[in-house]
Amino acid sequence: MLVESMAHVGAGPVAIVGQRLDQYRCTAGADDVSADGESLKVLCAAEDLTAVREALESAGVQIESAELTMEPKSVVPVEGGDASALMRLMDALDDHDDVEAVHANFDIPAEVLERAAV
């Protein structure tokens, strides 16, 4: 399988330093903790979502979102004409009435994505 079921908890704003990231990872039992500006992104096993959310809340972290999602196990780089074709496919799938969610494992550089959007 190219993707796996994970739980994603978004939190912030948080004054984040490297040691606090490790503290959140250990305290909450998360698989991965990363900072995006002042926001915190926490990934954990789907069955640990409630425990991780409660641990972060008890540590004083303001939770912005907590949801189950599909995370890619590996990422495939996509460039050039393939990127625009792939984006059209993703849009078509997302617009289909019978499709609830679309998950993928590709990575398109920002500059290629901007050109494909035009």
The whole model's pTM is what? 0.64
Chain centroid, CA 12 distance in Å: 15
Residues 64, 91, single domain; the answer is no
**Host domain of residue 99:** 76-117
Residue 55: Cβ within 10 Å count: 20
Count of domains for the chain: 2
Same domain, 65 and 94: no
**CATH number of the domain that 58 lies in?**
3.30.70.980
Residues 89 and 65 in one domain: no
Statement to judge: residues 64 and 32 lie in one domain: yes
Most confident of 28-32, 40-44, 112-116: 40-44
Question: pLDDT at position 8, please?
Answer: 78
Q: pLDDT tens digits for 31-72?
A: 887 777 777 788 888 888 888 888 888 877 788 889 888 888
Would you say residue 97 has pLDDT above 80? yes
For residues 75-92, give the mean pLDDT: 88
Amino acid 26: pLDDT: 66
